[in-house]
Amino acid sequence: MKDLKPIVDDIKPLIIAGPCSAESEKQVMETASQLAENGIKIFRAGIWKPRTKPGGFEGVGAEGLAWMRRVKEELGMLTATEVATRQHVKEALAAGIDILWIGARTSANPFAMQEIADTLAEAQMPELPVLVKNPVNPDLELWIGALQRIYNAGIRRLGAIHRGFSVYGKHLYRNMPQWHIPIELRRRLPQLPIVCDPSHIGGKRELIAPLSQQSLNMGFDGLIIESHCSPDEAWSDASQQVTPETLDLILNTLVAPTSSQSTENLSALRQQIDRIDNELIELLNKRMRVSREIGQFKKEHSMPVVQAGRYDDIMQTRRKLAEQMGMSGDFMAAVLTAIHEESVRQQLEILNNNRG
């Protein structure tokens, strides 16, 4: 696959955003216009939804294609949707959808992939961007096979989407990232752009930012993120969708690790460290002042400077708190021991000074 082209020209960074599903014309237009206002140029929405069980919302179907056309014509965005059958491909292309993606349940099925590839070959649209999500199961060969079928259909604006892999039971992630798999894909097909889908990996809003940053750090080429004008009311994947405004905040926190920016970023980060260290020293000084006041009190009431019970309590609670925040308990114990030593030294000084 040495002759691949970029997924789209001139849109950098490659960010695709929009609701899990198109639900109504109003929801599509409202979400898309808010995203467009924030500079998003590619709008995603599922029209046909592969649902685990029957009876769930299976997408609005072809009716939603007209809403996507409005997004394209009125807001000037590129539109993207998921296709899983010959019919979907035909209808999506006839409606002027700009980018197609193939979902994780479909990329796991070679028959479905071949049907889609054949339909694309017949359509003769080599400039059409097509993105292939990883199959639900962690099988790199199956993912590569799905990509090859699309490549063999003449598609050159080909890309992969990493959306994590299913495992049984409840876990932090809805779908395990298993980063080594997309990294191995990069090694095998270095020309192939890889986009990360933190929404489907995490399954929770809070995980979008850290997963996005992680993917950028690993050299991914773009992001596809679910965004809805009223996420809590979404008809599918509500817990992982964010408003266009929140999405904008998330995107603004991300640091792109490009070589020209890296030194700039590093010095900005070092400035942050300098500021935090100054704050830490001021805080420690404040703590010592309170400590000296306690020393004074102890002296006036003839109490011993070191009170073992209190010291033990401080150690336990701080250690636990630090561990909850992901720091090592031993590290916190060492910091507190040093602080406590200085505190005792200052209290003894008060005792001695006043005596003197």
For residue 104, the partner it binds in Mn ion, ligand PEP, none, with Cβ less than 5 to 8 A by kind, is ligand PEP
Please report how close the Cβ of residue 221 comes to Mn ion at its closest, in angstroms. 21
Please report how close the Cβ of residue 111 comes to ligand PEP at its closest, in angstroms. 17
Please report how close the Cβ of residue 335 comes to ligand PEP at its closest, in angstroms. 43
The 3 state secondary structure assigned to the chain is: CCCCCCCCCCCCCEEEEECCECCCHHHHHHHHHHHHHCCCCEEECECCCCCCCCCCCCCCCCHHHHHHHHHHHHHCCEEEEECCCHHHHHHHHHCCCCEEEECHHHHCCHHHHHHHHHHHHHHCCCCCCEEEECCCCCCHHHHHHHHHHHHHCCCCCEEEEECCECCCCCCCCCCECCCHHHHHHHHHCCCCCEEECHHHHHCCHHHHHHHHHHHHHCCCCEEEEEECCCHHHCCCCHHHCECHHHHHHHHHHCCCCCHHHHHHHHHHHHHHHHHHHHHHHHHHHHHHHHHHHHHHHHHHCCCCCCCHHHHHHHHHHHHHHHHHCCCCHHHHHHHHHHHHHHHHHHHHHHHHHHHC
82 binds Mn ion (CB under 5 A): no
Candidate ranges 1-9, 18-26, 80-88, 301-309; the one touching Mn ion (CB under 5 A): 18-26
129 binds ligand PEP (CB under 6 A): no
- Using CB under 5 A as the binding rule, the residues of this chain from 212 to 241 that contact Mn ion are 237
Question: Which residue number, 97 or 189, has a Cβ lying nearer to Mn ion?
Answer: 97
Please report how close the Cβ of residue 226 comes to Mn ion at its closest, in angstroms. 6
59 binds ligand PEP (CB under 6 A): no
> Which x/- pattern over 69-108 shows residues binding ligand PEP (rule: CB under 6 A)?
-------------x--------------------xx----
> Which x/- pattern over 157-196 shows residues binding ligand PEP (rule: CB under 6 A)?
------x---------------------------------
222 binds ligand PEP (CB under 6 A): no
200 binds ligand PEP (CB under 6 A): yes
Which residues does residue 238 pair with via DSSP β-bridges, in sequence order?
none
For residue 221, the partner it binds in Mn ion, ligand PEP, none, with Cβ less than 5 to 8 A by kind, is none
Among 14, 20, 223, 225, binds Mn ion (CB under 5 A): 20
Residues that bind ligand PEP (CB under 6 A): 20, 46, 82, 103-104, 133, 163, 200
Residues that bind Mn ion (CB under 5 A): 20, 237
